[in-house]
Amino acid sequence: MPSILEVSEGIQEISRLDTGAWGVDVAKIAASPAAPTLVRVLDESADSDVKATVMPTGAPSFSGSIMAWPAWAALSGFEGKILRVEFSFSDDGGVVRGRYARFKVIF
């Protein structure tokens, strides 16, 4: 069972060749979210932040309630591992909300 802070879709699969941008819809939490922050990308098996390797450039942004993350890069070497993207944003009342999404890197 996912944590209350984990996105409801659970673990998503992502190819090591994927270089596209991903994101999450936070409409159930905030209609007009602000201040998107990508806190870290955690390699759960090594308990280490790999954001500088897998999302080296760019910053998250909002389009309505959709928070878009920078594009993935350099996922080779992470095959079979789970990466946890930790992010935060401010809700309609200005309260900072922290959440995370998990991705399994496949071949």
Across the chain, mean pLDDT equals 90
**Who's near 68: CB < 8 A, 6+ residues apart?**
21, 22, 23, 60, 61, 62
The two structure tokens encoding residue 77 = 């070497």
**pLDDT of res. 2:** 44
pLDDT digits (tens, 9 = 90+) for 49-93: 999 999 999 999 999 999 999 999 989 999 999 999 999 999 999
**pLDDT of res. 20:** 85
Q: How far apart are CA 24 and CA 83, in angstroms?
A: 15
All structural domains of the chain, each given as residue ranges with its CATH number in brackets, are 12-106 (2.60.40.1220)
**Residues composing the chain:** 107
Whole-prediction pTM value? Answer: 0.89
What percent of the chain clears pLDDT 90, i.e. is strictly above it?
Answer: 76
